Chains A and B, each alone.
Chain A
Amino acid sequence: MTDTRADLEPYEVFQQAKDGDPMRHGGNVLAPDPELALHYAREMFGRRNESSRLWVVRRADINVLEDPDLLDPPLDRSFKKPGGYVMRDKLAAARERAGTAKPAARAEGHDRTGGQRDRDATA
């Protein structure tokens, strides 16, 4: 294979398995430009009916935050976490009083486009 890697850039590919599912990181492709990146993403993540939507993003366009000072504070913040509270029995008792069943997964109002709608609205 001819070595043309120098002309190529990595693109990160996110895929949505079916309408309503969250976008998940699938992997990446190397391509010389965004249009061919879409073609290659389609070949690798979309030709076996495994995706209903792909997002293909130039890796260099992703804003990265990985500073441990910001993401992993050194002081104890465990009081911010709900661990230690056992809610299950209280919830069950409350539901019984209210006469309601356990709610289904929060599907209503879910953005079926994986966030595309919000992006369009702010575009």
Chain B
Amino acid sequence: MTDVITPIGPAIGTALAELLLTMADDEFVSGFMDSEWTGIAPLLEEDIAVSSIAQDELGHARALYQLLAEVLDDGRDEDALAYDREPEEYRHSRLLDHARGDWADTIARRFMYELADEARLASIGTGYRPLADLVEKLRREERYHRMHVVAWIDRLANGGPDARRRLDTALTTQGVDAPTVFTPLAGEGDLVAAGILTRSMAAAESAWRADLTTILVPLGLGLPPSVDPSPAGRRNHSAAFRWLWSEFTSVRRSEGGATW
């Protein structure tokens, strides 16, 4: 993807790989879960919109896995990284472990995740040039994702008692897992020191809460609870994720090593 490979030391390499893996797995799992709406979304135009956004997320995951493959340099390409792992080896956040659910569940999850992803992307510095260059492109696409999901939060909050109740329930149920997007990374201090991150995950979480407040409070909706960050926020995945994993790996596993 890039002509110049920035030289990085082994300690930073491990920390950078962890960061890239968490970002890629988040985008990959959210993209696949949202694609579960293809063909059954509330209306045809929305079906196309949500499927297109899901494809965008998979595209972001692909670009991040490519960077990860360069950093790891262990012979695995982006497809191997995306598909050839056991479910417990994925490092997406618990927020993305929830099943597709109804439309309010998806909108609530996408809303909390999109804004969290935005806060995370805003925390990437210029310490690793290939990542900084990629993030600049990702943020342009994520602008539209945010517009789309915020439009829906507004409509569900003001769309009559049933829509509002479902949204409120979905935000509460999944909100407890939303801060796991900011699960501290083992090598976080090294990444900040190297300028790859400009702030800690905890600082990014504060920015995310401020952002959520500006949208949820005027609508009379509650914020996700503050919980102490657990190092296990990206582990012990749910049965819903195991099912999704069996779906998204099924074609790949049907003919190992096939060329497409």
Contacts and interface: CB of A to CB of B under 8 A. Distances in A.
A29 to B, nearest CB: 5
Interface string B26-59: 0000000000000111111111110010000000
A30 B45 contact: yes
Interface residues of A, number: 17
A76 interface: no
A89 to B, nearest CB: 54
B144 interface: yes
B147 interface: yes
Contact of A42 (B41, B43, B47, B144): B144
B148 interface: yes
Given A1-B40, A1-B43, A29-B45, A39 B148 contact: yes
B216 interface: no
Contacts of B203: none
A91 interface: no
Given A35-B151, A47-B52, A40 B47 contact: no
Interface string B136-177: 000000001001100100010000000000000000000000
Nearest to B154: A35
A4 interface: yes
Contacts of B48: 40, 43-44
A2 interface: yes
Contacts of A4: 42-43
A97 B144 CA distance: 58
Interface in A9-42: 29-32, 35-36, 39-40, 42
Nearest to B51: A43
Contacts of A94: none
Nearest to B39: A1
Given A36-B151, A39-B151, A8 B43 contact: yes
A29 B47 CA distance: 13
B232 to A, nearest CB: 37
B41 A1 contact: yes
A45 B9 CA distance: 46
Given A36-B151, A39-B147, A39-B151, A30 B49 contact: no
Given A2-B42, A36-B155, 13 more contacts: A1-B39, A1-B41, A1-B42, A1-B43, A4-B42, A5-B43, A30-B43, A30-B45, A39-B49, A40-B45, A40-B46, A40-B49, A43-B48
Shortest beta-carbon contacts, A-B, top 7: A40-B45, A43-B49, A43-B48, A43-B52, A29-B45, A35-B151, A39-B148
14 contacts: A2-B43, A4-B43, A30-B43, A30-B44, A35-B151, A36-B45, A36-B46, A36-B151, A36-B155, A39-B49, A39-B148, A40-B46, A43-B49, A44-B45
